[in-house]
Amino acid sequence: MVNNAQEDINKLTNKVRIRYLDLSNRELGGEMNLKDFKNLKSINASNNKFTNLNFLNSLPDKNKIEKINC
C-alpha cells in the first residue's frame, strides 16, 4: 500500500523551522509540495515508493540543501 506523501507533509507544523526532514520508510508515494520548508538543509526520503523526484523542484531555497537521501 502506498501512502499519500502530501497528506504526510500536511501533518507537520512549523515547516519554516524544520532543517532536517526525515520521511524515510513510510511507504510514501505521489507528489508533494515542499515550498514551506524555507530553512531545510537535509531531506531523507529513502525507502519509499516515489516514482520520480520532481518534489525536489518545489524546494524554496535549493542552495541551502546540504544532503539529500532518496
Distance CA 23, CA 48 (A): 8
Digit-coded pLDDT (tens) for 17-53? 999 999 999 999 999 999 999 999 999 999 999 999 9
Selected residue with higher pLDDT from 9 and 1: 9
What whole-number percentage of the chain has pLDDT above 90?
97
The pTM assigned to this predicted structure is 0.90
Indicate if the pLDDT at residue 1 is higher than 90: no
Per the structure, the complete domain to which residue 20 belongs is given by 3-69
Distance CA 32, CA 59 (A): 10
Count how many domains the chain has: 1
